[in-house]
Chains A and B, each alone.
Chain A
Amino acid sequence: MIVTLRFLIGFVAAFCLFVAETASAYHTRFVADNCNYASPTPTSFITRDGSTTVALRARYEGYQWGGGCWNDNNVDDSPGDPTENPSTGGEGGDCSGFTFKVWRESESTGDSGFYQWGMLRDVHGPYRAEHFKSGTGAPNVTLSKSAAIKMDALASQNHVGMIYAKNADGTDQIIEAKGEAYGTNIWTRTYRGDSSYGGVRRTGWSG
């Protein structure tokens, strides 16, 4: 009787573990199932409106630490991934990967050219938020926050977001990949008044 009971307890425990592992694995399949490694398309120029369009396709999609691949179904297809784990393979970019792709930059830091990356192209790029803050890389320069306009960015050591619109009260609507619990969206932010943030511009806009 005791042996049977132990067996049952063991079986139930093993089954629960299996279900839990399966459930957690479910959230890590987005990149493996959907993303690609296609080459980017070089483009001769980019506009701020064009980059806004690129950014808006990622709106309502997910967030992935170290990631850079999303679709455009307005759903986070891998919610609840563990935070700050680059290996979970979920949907979305992180803040710097999102900025890199929207600014259509090169993986080579010495190249300031324009590269159109597909939404489902899994690419993060070489920069982290602090690189953007310091203007690291040929395409990126720092500028005063007061001079920052639409699709320039405000960056700190830990985060970067692009200006979608300026509000009359001095705050900004920032389009950003915010975090695993929030995904990618537009939020009103006070980065412009935060001393830990600086202004960053992608050079070479045609308009």
Chain B
Amino acid sequence: MSVVPVGAGEHTPGPGRVFGLHSSFLLLVAVALGAIGAACSTDDVSPKTLMDGSGASAPPVEIEGVSTPAVLTKVRVVAVAAIEPGSLAAKCLRGRARDAHPTGRVVERIGVASATVTLRDMSGLHGCDDSPGRREEDRRWCGSSFGRLYGGHLRDPRLDIAGCSTADGRPMGFAWVEVTRGARYLVVEQPGYAEVYEAAAGLPVRISTTTGVRVEGSRASFDISEHDAHGRLLRRYQLTAVPTG
């Protein structure tokens, strides 16, 4: 803005004046474009809402090493005996996970473009996935997963890339991640923002990606970092997974 008076103050007669006006005009345009560019680069383009329509919020601590705006996903832990009718957990247990006999606690998560349920029974880990995109036959859940546990751990992340999609039809990928001991937050890089998941109930965290799916090659990649309760970075890695079994 401070440059404008300089250009406006030029009064060169004749051809020079034309040149002067032209250059001032160009200068103004350049300044305007620069201002717009600057505004664009500092605009917060992070999502303002989560998939259930509730407002997106920032995590309670600063997440070290994450440069894009961080969006905290919602997590709800409920005891199996206290599952309410109509809840995500109840719908999952009536639907894709109807053969499960859950024990302990169930974890419901709402992300920017995802909703998931994770539960455990004697046979292993069960999950239901939801996304904003269309799905076949108007199914309640776009995906579901089951993973056997060996010594309490999964052997692969049970990637699902077959049924879920974004609102504009891009395939989404869902996977379970077992967080490192001491990790409280798990962060997945998304385009323009970082999605923050809080570890809960000792169960693997069901994460999603809206851009990491590679249809050709049938795989998905997740750029992940894990952080302690104070947001300190514990580790950063890329998880690449394929559907299995």
Residues of A at the B interface (CB closer than 8 Å) are: 37, 65-66, 83-86, 94-96, 107-109, 123-131, 134-137, 157-159, 196
Contacts and interface: CB of A to CB of B under 8 A. Distances in A.
30 contacts: A65-B244, A65-B245, A66-B243, A66-B244, A66-B245, A84-B150, A84-B155, A84-B244, A85-B155, A85-B156, A94-B245, A95-B245, A107-B217, A109-B163, A123-B218, A124-B242, A124-B243, A125-B243, A126-B162, A126-B218, A126-B243, A127-B243, A128-B158, A128-B162, A131-B162, A134-B139, A136-B163, A137-B162, A137-B163, A157-B99
Contacts of B215: 107-108, 126
A130 B147 CA distance: 11
Contacts of B171: 109
A137 B171 CA distance: 12
Given A128-B160, A131-B163, A86 B146 contact: no
B163 A86 contact: no
B243 A84 contact: no
B144 interface: yes
Nearest to B214: A107
B243 A130 contact: no
Interface size class of B (residues with CB under 8 A): 20 to 34
B209 to A, nearest CB: 14
Interface of B: 96, 99, 136, 139, 144-146, 148, 150, 155-156, 158, 160-163, 171, 215-218, 241-245
Contacts of A136: 136, 162-163
A154 B82 CA distance: 36
B129 to A, nearest CB: 12
A137 B163 CA distance: 7
Nearest to B155: A84
A12 B177 CA distance: 39
Contacts of B146: 130, 157-158
Contacts of B144: 130, 134
Given A66-B156, A109-B162, A196-B99, A128 B244 contact: yes
Contacts of B96: 134
Contacts of A125: 218, 243
> Which are the 8 A-B pairs with shortest beta-carbon distances?
A66-B244, A84-B155, A126-B162, A131-B162, A126-B218, A66-B242, A128-B243, A136-B163
A54 B245 CA distance: 20
Instruction: State the main secondary structure of chain A at its contact with B.
Output: loop
A95 B150 CA distance: 20
A166 B149 CA distance: 34
A137 B139 CA distance: 13
Contact of A86 (B99, B161, B242): B242
A137 B144 CA distance: 14
A134 B128 CA distance: 13
B136 A124 contact: no
A60 B99 CA distance: 33
Contacts of A94: 244-245
Given A126-B161, A136-B163, A65 B156 contact: yes
Contacts of A107: 215-218
Contacts of B245: 65-66, 84, 94-96, 128-129, 158-159
Contacts of B156: 65-66, 84-86
A124 B244 contact: yes
A176 B155 CA distance: 22
Given A84-B155, A85-B156, A86-B242, 6 more contacts: A95-B245, A96-B243, A126-B215, A127-B162, A128-B243, A137-B162
A65 B163 CA distance: 21
